[in-house]
């Protein structure tokens, strides 16, 4: 039926989606099988620009644009000749790629002008390969550089066969795809991979299976283990409900003829009406809206973060299984897992390669989660200098040129990071860069009245707040990035500690550790320790997205498994996840804030000792933060000497 649509209808579809009458006419020259484009790179770039005109809600597809692009591809037939520079390139649509179990995954194969064979880049996605080609310019840029590109729907998604089990399937499927690519007569056997978020994770899961022909990869904004990805050192990341409902469920319903929203637009509209209710359901496993369309969500819930079932998702003991050159990229405000994945993966590779860094690199910028956000100088409400922007396509292709083709020189230093506040890039030979770990002690605070964060002697006694899972601290902002959280200091379930106004500029770059002594009238608690840059006008910028700055007390010692608290007993809880690079300017203050929840970003601790996954009974508790001589609660900040 799709093939019966005319090329004029294809152009009209784009016109109606984008509201751009020129876009359709520019693409109308696509004919039937074997006819030519004026430029395939032009086709991808135009399609990208057309759909970029459309609003894209957080984590939502531009569904109508995807339909328009699919119509265009369908009217081109399975193979379209694409002249580029006077010679014909080739676009093969929905090519079968056989997996070892007989399932066929389908890919679009884009080949540049010339006879080849070509170095080849692989991109694997659950988000619709046609849509991805319209969203991003990397594919066209790679063709212009002379690469063949394979864009594949992962198992169980869109054009590919099989059942979708997110992440769990990508190791072997990625291996098989890479080795299939290397065996094609148009490939020279040198294969690289790229992609951000899920496509970044898919790269890593394939790489640790050690496909022989994988030579280079650029995994961006992704994970290192389930402990800070599915969970945040204990609390469950509730944004997975949003992801499963809006990104995964529509295609699942369409494929299986299930009831419920089967388009991205309908799913997003339903989420706007019902999403908050889904995230509020207790127990979590009784939220039944995903049972048919995303059953994997309930499988995840059956396995706590320390369950050995997750071994397939833990990269941390597998870095010696790949010899590929790896550039890891992330942002200070990347999702709920932040840059921890990129940093852990970089450091793990360096250790596995005995300190050699010629084929590993790390790039950390002031971005939120997304390819297009790397070209922005704004994260949330915080504005940075224009130098915060990078050319994502060029970054990837320069890495590939060097490690697949032997072109160009290696960077002098493998680590490059952006210092917020100073609005400058710095380089280092390793991560973290040299810094002095400086103790800042917590001194008495009451809810609504900040205590002191001081480098001098310890305080006395304790500070206390009430934590009520029925009325958790609610994140007032829906989008990622930096926001002004000054109002949290007024809440009754938050303790705030401020430094004195800084006498000089103070740079904090590297991991931030908190050692907090707590007691509680409860069996378990979540400890959130958040860091802010407070300006003279009171603006309080968060320095990372919520997630890395949390720890569940019952997981305080992962070597001993799940351990409940004894009410009234004092425990040391260490929060080791936060990381940033920020210049606190003269006159600013460093703020540390402690709470027992951060909802709906992450699940609520019921404080009974029972899991919120299987129980709905909660307990209101008093939490004490001790800061006497024997129980000196503090944060350790990596202070970098200023030139």
Whole-angstrom Cα distance, residue 239 to residue 336? 8
DSSP sequence for 513-525: EEEEEEEESSS--
Residue 77 has pLDDT above 80, yes or no: no
Residue 271 and residue 329 in one domain? no
Mean pLDDT, to the nearest integer, of 72-95? 56
Higher pLDDT: 42 or 101? It is: 101
The reply to whether 91 falls in a domain is no
Residue 107 CB neighbour total at 10 angstroms:
25
Q: Are residues 154 and 128 in the same domain?
A: yes
Do 485 and 617 share a domain, yes or no?
yes
pLDDT digits (tens, 9 = 90+) for 392-443: 999 999 999 999 999 988 888 999 999 999 999 999 999 999 999 999 999 9
At residue 40, the pLDDT reads 46
On whether the CB atoms of residues 460 and 551 are closer than 8 A, the answer is no
Residue 366 domain flag: yes
Domain ends where: 428, 452, 478? Answer: 428
- Please check whether residue 167 lies inside any domain of the structure: yes
Residues 250 and 193 in one domain: no
pTM reported for the whole predicted model: 0.88
Residue 63 lies in domain? 1-85
Query: Is residue 252 situated within a structural domain?
Result: yes
Instruction: Give the pLDDT score at 80.
Output: 45
- How many domains does the structure of the chain reveal? 4
Q: Which pLDDT value is given to residue 12?
A: 35
Tokens standing for residue 254: 């369409």
Question: Are 452 and 563 part of one and the same domain?
Answer: yes
Give the model confidence (pLDDT) of 6-27 as tens digits. 223 333 333 333 334 444 443 3
The predicted model gives 310-337 an average pLDDT of 95
Q: Are residues 491 and 578 in the same domain?
A: yes
599: domain CATH number is 2.60.120.260
On whether both 288 and 326 belong to a single domain, the answer is no
- Judged against a pLDDT cut of 50, whether residue 266 lies above it is answered with yes
Same structural domain, 354 and 489: no
Tell me the C-alpha distance between 15 and 37, whole Å.
Answer: 19
* Residue ending a domain, choose from 398, 428, 458: 428
pLDDT tens for 613-638 read 999 999 999 999 999 999 999 999 99
Compute the mean pLDDT over every residue in the chain, rounded to the nearest whole number: 89
Is residue 102 assigned to a domain? no
Mean pLDDT of the region 114-127: 95
Q: Do 81 and 137 have their domain in common?
A: no
Count other Cβ atoms within 10 Å, centred on residue 284.
23
CA distance 336 to 544: 9
Q: 522 near 608, Cβ under 8 Å?
A: yes
Task: Tell whether 205 and 246 lie within a shared domain.
Answer: no
- Per-residue pLDDT of 563-604, as tens digits, reads 999 999 999 999 998 999 999 999 999 999 999 999 999 999
Burial state string for 143-170 with b = 16 or more CB within 10 A and e = fewer than 16: bbbbbbbbbbbbbbbbbbebebebbbbb
333-362 confidence digits (pLDDT tens): 998 788 999 999 999 999 999 999 999 999
Residues 165 and 259 in one domain: no
Is residue 96 domain-resident?
Answer: no
Q: Final residue of a domain: which of 399, 428, 457?
A: 428
pLDDT reported for residue 410: 84
Residues 171-224: tens digit of each pLDDT? 999 999 999 999 999 999 999 999 999 999 999 999 999 999 999 999 999 999
Helix (H) or strand (E) holding 129: helix 129-135
Evaluate whether residue 97 is within a structural domain.
no
Answer whether residue 104 is part of any domain: no
Q: What percentage of the chain carries pLDDT values higher than 70?
A: 86
Q: Are 531 and 578 in contact (CB under 8 A)?
A: yes
- Report pLDDT for 643: 78
The CATH number assigned to the domain holding 416 equals 3.40.50.1820
Run of H or E residues at 4: none
- Left if phi > 0, otherwise alpha if psi is -120 to 50, otherwise beta: which for 235? beta
3-class DSSP state of 454: strand
Q: Are residues 593 and 511 in the same domain?
A: yes
């Amino acid at each position: 039926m799709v093939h019966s649509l005319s090329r004029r209808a294809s152009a009209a579809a784009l016109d109606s989606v984008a509201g751009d009458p020129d876009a359709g006419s520019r693409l109308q020259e696509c004919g039937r099988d074997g006819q030519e484009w004026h430029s395939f790179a032009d086709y991808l770039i135009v399609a990208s620009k057309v759909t970029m005109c459309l609003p894209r809600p957080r984590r939502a597809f531009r569904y109508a644009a995807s339909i328009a692009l699919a119509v265009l591809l369908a009217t081109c037939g399975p193979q379209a000749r694409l002249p580029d520079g006077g010679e014909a390139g080739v676009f093969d649509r929905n090519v079968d790629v056989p997996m070892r179990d007989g399932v066929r995954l389908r890919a679009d194969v884009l080949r540049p002008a010339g006879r080849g064979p070509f170095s080849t880049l692989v991109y694997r996605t659950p988000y619709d390969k046609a849509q991805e080609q319209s969203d991003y310019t990397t594919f066209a840029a790679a063709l212009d550089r002379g690469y063949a590109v394979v864009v594949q729907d992962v198992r169980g998604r869109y054009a590919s066969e099989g059942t979708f089990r997110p992440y769990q399937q990508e190791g072997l499927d990625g291996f098989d795809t890479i080795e299939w690519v290397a065996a094609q007569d148009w490939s020279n056997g040198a294969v690289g991979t790229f992609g951000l978020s899920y496509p970044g994770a898919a790269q890593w899961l394939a790489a640790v299976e050690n496909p022989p022909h994988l030579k280079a990869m650029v995994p961006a904004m992704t994970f290192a283990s389930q402990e800070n990805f599915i969970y945040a050192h204990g609390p469950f990341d509730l944004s997975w409900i949003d992801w499963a409902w809006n990104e995964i469920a529509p295609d699942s319903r369409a494929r299986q003829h299930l009831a419920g929203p089967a388009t991205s637009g309908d799913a997003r509209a339903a989420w706007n009406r019902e999403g908050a209710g889904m995230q509020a359901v207790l127990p979590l496993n009784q939220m039944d809206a995903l049972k048919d369309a995303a059953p994997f969500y309930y499988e995840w819930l059956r396995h706590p973060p320390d369950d050995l079932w997750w071994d397939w998702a833990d990269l941390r003991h597998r870095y010696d299984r790949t010899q590929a050159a790896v550039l890891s990229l992330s942002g200070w405000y990347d999702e709920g897992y932040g840059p921890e994945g990129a940093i852990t993966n970089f450091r793990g590779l360096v250790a596995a390669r005995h300190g050699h860094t010629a084929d590993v690199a790390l790039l950390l910028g002031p971005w939120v989660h997304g390819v297009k956000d790397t070209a922005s100088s704004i994260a949330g409400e915080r504005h940075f200098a224009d130098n915060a922007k990078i050319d994502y396509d060029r970054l990837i292709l320069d890495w590939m040129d060097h490690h697949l083709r032997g072109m160009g020189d290696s960077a002098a230093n493998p680590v490059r990071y952006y210092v917020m506040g100073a609005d400058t890039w710095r380089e280092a030979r390793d991560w973290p860069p040299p810094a002095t770990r400086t103790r800042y002690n917590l001194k008495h605070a009451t809810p609504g009245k900040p205590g002191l964060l001081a480098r001098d002697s310890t305080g006395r006694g304790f500070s206390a707040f009430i934590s009520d899972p029925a009325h958790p601290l609610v994140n007032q902002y829906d989008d990622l990035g930096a926001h002004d959280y000054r109002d949290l200091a007024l809440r009754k379930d938050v303790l705030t500690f401020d430094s004195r106004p800084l006498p000089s500029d103070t740079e904090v770059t590297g991991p931030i550790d908190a050692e907090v002594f707590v007691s509680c009238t409860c069996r378990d608690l979540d400890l959130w320790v958040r860091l802010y840059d407070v300006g003279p006008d009171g603006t309080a910028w968060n320095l990372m997205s919520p997630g890395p700055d949390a720890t569940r007390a019952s997981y305080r010692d992962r070597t001993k498994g799940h351990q409940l608290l004894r009410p009234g007993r004092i425990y040391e809880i260490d929060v080791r996840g936060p990381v940033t690079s920020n210049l606190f300017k003269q006159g600013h203050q460093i703020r540390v804030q402690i709470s027992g929840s951060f909802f709906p970003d992450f699940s609520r601790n019921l404080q009974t000792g029972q899991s919120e996954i299987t129980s709905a009974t909660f307990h209101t508790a008093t939490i004490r933060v001790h800061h006497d001589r024997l129980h000196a609660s503090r944060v350790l900040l990596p202070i970098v000497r200023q030139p």
